[in-house]
Amino acid sequence: MLLVALTACVLLPLWLARQRSAVLLGVLALGAVAWAAFTQPPAVQERNDQRPLVEPHGDYIGSASCRACHPAEHASWHGSFHRTMTQLATRSTLVPQFERLELDWFGAKVVLEWRGERLWTQFRRGGGKPADVDRPIEQLTGSHHVQVLWYSTGVERELAPVPMGFHLEQRIWIPLTTVFVLPPEFRDPPDPGTWNKSCDMCHATGTLPRVDIGRTDTQVAELGIACEACHGPGGPHAAANRDPLARYQHRKAGGDDTIVNPAKLSAPRSGSACGQCHSVSILRQQHFDAWREQGSPFVPGGELQATHLVIGPEDRDAVELRRELQKNPHFFRSSFWSDGQVRLSGREWNGVRRSPCYQRGLGERQLDCTSCHAMHTADGAVTPEWRRGQMRPDMASGDAGFGNAACTQCHEQLAAPDALRAHTHHAPDSVGSRCYDCHMPHTSVGLMKTSRSHTIDSPDVKTELATGRPNACNLCHLDRTLQWTAERLAADWGVAMPELDEEQRSVAAGVRWLLTGDAGLRLIAAANFGQPAAQQAAGRDWMAPFLSRLLDDPYYVVRFRAASTLRGLGYGDSLAGFVHTADAAVAKRFVDTSLAAWQARGPLPPRPELLLDAEGLQQPRFAALYARRDNRAIYLAE
C-alpha cells in the first residue's frame, strides 16, 4: 500500500506526458484508494465521560491525516516533546514504573496504585475545595522536565492535579508547588478544573473549554501540541489535496493557502504561532464570553496581538487585567523585571518582541522564532540534541549545540575569527565568544531551572543596579566584583561607569547574589553556578560554602537547585539523604556537612572578594552578608 501511495503521489506527474489516458486513469484510481487509506480520520478515543473528550471537530482532522504526504515532518513531530505535552495515562506513557507507591507530601500520604490497567490515586485534598480523593488518573502533562498526573474528580469532565509530580532528570517524586518559586506556605496544588480552564489551551490542540458555573464538558481535537496547533485546522488542506495532480501542482508552487506554514510568514505572524503559548498574554476582553464554548479565537497565520494582549508592564491599566490583578496583585513582579523584560521561562515571544533584532529588523532580517529554531528535521530523524532545543541544523554548532551562526547570519561582519576576537575580547574558540552567553544570559526562571532570556540586549552593570537582574558578564565571572565588570565594560566597549557602593566594589557578584538576593535571584545564581561556562570562567573550588548556605533556604526550589549544583561539584556524599522539602532543622544539618566537606579539601589562596583569607572563610563577613538576605515574598509561577 505504501508503494502504491508513493507511486501515485510522487511518480504520477512524471508519467503524465508519456502515458495513455486509460492507463493514467487507472493509476489515478489506485492513488485515490491509497490516499483514502492514509487519510482516514484518527480513531476516536474510547468513550470516557470522566476526562476531556478527545475528538476532531470543525475543520480539525488530527495529525494522523498529515503523515501520508508529510512523513518526515510527522516523524520529527512525533519524536518531539510537543507531541507528549499531554498524554492519556497508561503504563507506557507514565515514566516511573511501579505497582503501588506511598509518597510523602509534607507529612501527608499520597498513594498511587495500578488497579488493572488504570492508575488510581488516594490522598486528602486541601486548597479551596478540600476532599478525600480516591479517583482514577486520566492524563499526564509534561515529558521533558516534570510529569504531572491529572485525576478525574468525578464531576463531569473536570480534572485536578495529584499534588506530587515526577522530576524526570533526577527521577524523584516532588510536591508540585516546589517546582515554582513560591513562599513555603504554598503547598496545595491548583484547584480542580484548572486544566479545563487554563492548561488545556496550550497542552492540547483545538480546545473547546465548554466550562461554566456547574458545567465542565471540555473537548479537544487532539492531546498534546499537534500539527494543527501550529499550522491551523487541516480539513480544507486535506480536501484541496486529495487529487494527486492538484497536490503535485501545489507542491510545485510552494504550497497553497489552505494551510499555514509559520516558516514562510512575516515575523509578527510567524512568531504569533509560537507566541500563542510561549508568551505572557491574555485574551482580549471582547472574546471573554465566546471563549467558554469556542476556545481561543487565534488561528495560526494571524497576529496574536489582534486577539490577545501580549502583556508588558506598560499594560498595567488594561481592562483585561483587572480581574487578574484582583486575584494576584503580584502579577507584574511575578512575570517581569522592572524594565519590562520577561522573567518566566517558556514565555520567549514577549522577549523576542522587545529585542532590537525584532523591532528594527526588516524582512528576512526581522527576528522571529524560526530564525533559530526548526519544528521539524529534514529526514524525520530525532536526536537528543535537536529534541532538547529544536535548533535549526545550520544554527546548531559549537559547544552543547550553541554556536554563533544564529547571530552571524545577520551580523556577518562578526563571523571571522579576528573580528570576533576584536568584538568580544575573548579567544574566538572560547566560551566567552559565544553570542548567546553575553546577549541572551540565563535570567529567566521556570520548572526548577533557568533559561536564556530571549530579549537580546548587551551587558551593562547599570541595568543590574536599576532592575536587580544579573548582568551577563558576572553570570560567567561569578568570582568577580561589579567594579571589575564595570571597568572591563568601560575599557573594552566604552560603557559608562556607574556609581557603586563599597560592597559592590569589593565582594564578588556571585557571592552577593547567593547571600543577599531575593529568592528569584538566589535561584538564578545557584543555577548559573552549575553552568559549565561559569565554572570554566570562575573556577569551582570556592563555590561550595555559598551554595551550602542555601540548603535550608525558605524556598524549596532554591534548596533543590543548590543541591543539584553541589552534586555536580562533587559533594554528592555529603548530600546523601538530602530531601529538599525536609523541615528546616533537618535541612540545616546538610548545610553543616557540606561546609565541612569543603573545608576538608584544604585551604585556598586568599581572595578577599570571595571572603577567603589565609585562615579560610571569613565567617563574620559571611554572616553579615547573609543576615541581609532579601526575604520579600517572591511569586514566580508559570
Query: Could you say which residues of the chain have pLDDT below 70?
Result: 1-47, 396-402
Find residue 148's DSSP bridge partners. Answer: 141
For residue 182, the Cα-to-chain-centroid distance in whole angstroms is 18
pLDDT at 249: 86
- What is the rounded CA–CA span in Å between residue 244 and residue 241? 7
Tens-digit pLDDT profile for residues 426-440: 988 888 888 999 999
- What is the rounded CA–CA span in Å between residue 182 and residue 170? 21
Q: Beta strand 146-152 with 131-141: parallel, antiparallel or unpaired? A: antiparallel
Cell numbers describing residue 443: 535570567
Strands (E), 153-209: 159-161, 164-167, 172-175, 204-208
- What is the rounded CA–CA span in Å between residue 74 and residue 68? 9
Residue 97 belongs to what H/E stretch? none
Q: How far is CA 43 from CA 231, 294, 460, in A?
A: 21, 23, 55
Residue 547 belongs to what H/E stretch? helix 544-548
Residues in the chain: 638
- Whether the model clears a pTM of 0.75, i.e. scores above it, the answer is yes
Asked if residues 468 and 524 have their Cβ atoms less than 8 Å apart, the reply is no
> Comparing C-alpha atoms, which of 473, 348, 353, 367 is closest to residue 411?
367
* CB count in 10 Å sphere of residue 330: 13
DSSP state of 41: P
